[in-house]
Amino acid sequence: MKSQRPVNLDLRTIKLPITAYTSILHRVSGVILFLGIAILLLALDTSLSSEEGFGRVQDYLASPLAKLVIWGLLSALLYHLVAGIRHLIMDTGHGETLQGGKLGSKIVLAVSAVLIVLAGVWIW
């Protein structure tokens, strides 16, 4: 019996469509947001505990590393938002074809890239 299953399962050599990349990035951005909420809640708790805690958080947020983390979390939020809007539009029946899905993925990547760059300019 000859099997039609793929022989090479090396993920580095498999070419995924653009829709797969946008879907994977949407899930990854959701995980980043979930983990980032813990960091932000810790900073909020520290800042509300006392004046010294507020000053510490303010000092941390002024550092370049903290700005990079905030920019990363904001980037994940912006990408997740744009991709989520795409999913809501698809729920209405628009862009469900293969060609529409590819176009929607390209739009999501382009709009997200612009928003992420603007967020970086705003933070830095």
The confidence score (pLDDT) of residue 12 equals 76
Say whether pLDDT at 115 is over 80.
Answer: yes
The confidence score (pLDDT) of residue 15 equals 84
Is residue 7 included in any domain, yes or no?
no
Separation CA 93–CA 46 (nearest Å): 46
Is residue 77 included in any domain, yes or no?
yes
The confidence score (pLDDT) of residue 10 equals 74
DSSP element (H, E) containing 102:
helix 98-123
Name the nearest CA neighbour of 29 among 87, 78, 69, 67. 78
Name the nearest CA neighbour of 80 among 37, 40, 123, 41. 37
Name the nearest CA neighbour of 82 among 108, 102, 120, 106. 108
Task: Give the mean pLDDT of 13-40.
Answer: 93
The CATH number covering residue 38 comes to 1.20.1300.10
CB burial class (10 A; 0-12, 13-18, 19+) of residue 83? buried
For the chain, what's the residue count?
124
CB burial class (10 A; 0-12, 13-18, 19+) of residue 29? buried
Q: Domain limits at 63?
A: 18-123
What's the structural domain count of the chain?
1
Rounded to the nearest integer, the mean pLDDT of the chain is 93
Say whether pLDDT at 11 is over 90.
Answer: no
pLDDT band at 16 (very low <50, low <70, confident <90, very high): confident
Is residue 29 included in any domain, yes or no?
yes
Are the C-beta atoms of 90 and 108 separated by less than 8 Å?
no
pTM of the model: 0.85
Say whether pLDDT at 8 is over 70.
Answer: no
The confidence score (pLDDT) of residue 1 equals 62
Are the C-beta atoms of 32 and 83 separated by less than 8 Å?
no
Confirm whether residue 80 is marked as ligand binding: yes
The confidence score (pLDDT) of residue 6 equals 64
Say whether pLDDT at 14 is over 90.
Answer: no
